[in-house]
Structure 1
Amino acid sequence: MAVGDLQKTVGRNLRAYRLERGLSQEAFADQLGVHRTYMGGVERGERNLTLKSLEKMAEQIGVEARELLEVEAPTSAPGKS
């Protein structure tokens, strides 16, 4: 995995889960207490997250932190078929 690939994977997965839940980037950022532009950077893989931030985002979106690290993009929310 190249440098930055993990950041892009986390961002892509976070965006997919956010959209599945019908949340705008701004609404999700508000829930987390961060600015929308910061969330945009996270979703584009431009921000380097701490483990604490990763856990907080995963908890807020309703997934395990490890699910944000999975290389395969999520196809459905947990518990959905």
Structure 2
Amino acid sequence: MKNRIRELRTEHGWTQAALADRLDVSRQTVNALETGRYDPSLPLAFRLARLLGAPLESIFEPDEEPETAHAR
């Protein structure tokens, strides 16, 4: 999943460690989130959105569009 966490974090002037402290996670978790190696749980995603002051949809973008169900 693509995300704008690094961009928004730097706009706030926070280091990875500072964001990690605010989220109560490790700096390594923040790094993994920013590089796309780890997708956050829903509660963590909501905490990120609140802290960064942005809607979830503007922070996270799926790699691919989900398939739509076809009517039968």
Q: What range is the shorter-chain TM-score in?
A: 0.7 to 0.9
Number of equivalences: 62
> What residue number does 2:65 align with?
none
Is the aligned partner of 1:43 residue 2:29?
no
As a proportion of its length, which structure holds more strand? 2
Paired-residue identity, %:
27
As a proportion of its length, which structure holds more helix? 1
Alignment of 1:49-64 (within 5 A): 49-64=40-55
Between the aligned partners of 2:39 and 2:7, the Cα distance in structure 1 is 19
Tell me how large the CA RMSD over aligned residues is. 1.4
The alignment's TM-score, normalised by the length of structure 2, stands at: 0.77
> What residue number does 1:25 align with?
16
Q: CA deviation at 1:70?
A: 4.5
Q: 1:39 is matched by which residue type in structure 2?
A: V
Q: Where do 5+ consecutive residues of structure 1 fail to align?
A: 1-5, 72-81
Q: Where do 5+ consecutive residues of structure 2 fail to align?
A: 63-72
